[in-house]
Amino acid sequence: MAGKEMADVNALISYKTGIASSLLAEIAAAREAALFAHQWQIEHVILEGDALLVIAAIQNNLAANHGPFGHLMDDTRRILQSFQLWKANFVRRDANTVAHRLARFSLTLEHPVSWFEDPPDIISELVLEDSFNY
């Protein structure tokens, strides 16, 4: 989840066990991001992801949501609809290095970690690098 200015960037890293597919991982990450924003009462949310199927299903409330992970997609959309303004954007994987570095880093964690306002230097550098890829 990211805003356009550095001050708007919030990040959460957490490691989940029992995720058996990449599709489930993407859906779970989108839901976790929506819950994270909801918990901190953020009013405007831009959810970005590189799984086109997941982003399209969230954006369009597709009937495909009623598949094996439909309840998670429906819940994610319900959470997002509670915000004053929200969008779900597809971004190419190569333009989403921050998310992938954070995901890799999450494998070393024992508990969730989050940043607000001033992220660590490595995150700031990655966000800046990502902004050049748009």
| Percent of the chain clearing pLDDT 70 (strictly above) | 81
Element (H, E) at 104: helix 97-106
Enclosing domain of residue 24: 6-132
pTM of the model: 0.75
Q: What pLDDT is attached to residue 2?
A: 40
Q: What percent of the chain has pLDDT over 90?
A: 22
Backbone dihedral angles phi then psi of residue 120, each to the nearest 5 degrees: -60, 155
> Which residue, among 80, 133, 89, 112, has the nearest Cα to 11 in the 3D structure?
112
Q: How many CB atoms lie within 10 A of CB 6?
A: 15
* Domain CATH for 103: 3.30.420.10
Mean pLDDT of the region 56-74: 78
Residue 1 lies in a domain: no
Is residue 109 assigned to a domain? yes
Q: Which residues of 45-81 are buried (b: 16+ CB within 10 A; e: fewer)?
A: bebbbbbeebbebbbeeeeebeeebeebbeebbebbe
Task: Please indicate whether residue 52 or residue 96 has the higher confidence score (pLDDT).
Answer: 52
Q: Confirm whether 48 is domain-assigned.
A: yes
Q: State the total domains in the chain.
A: 1
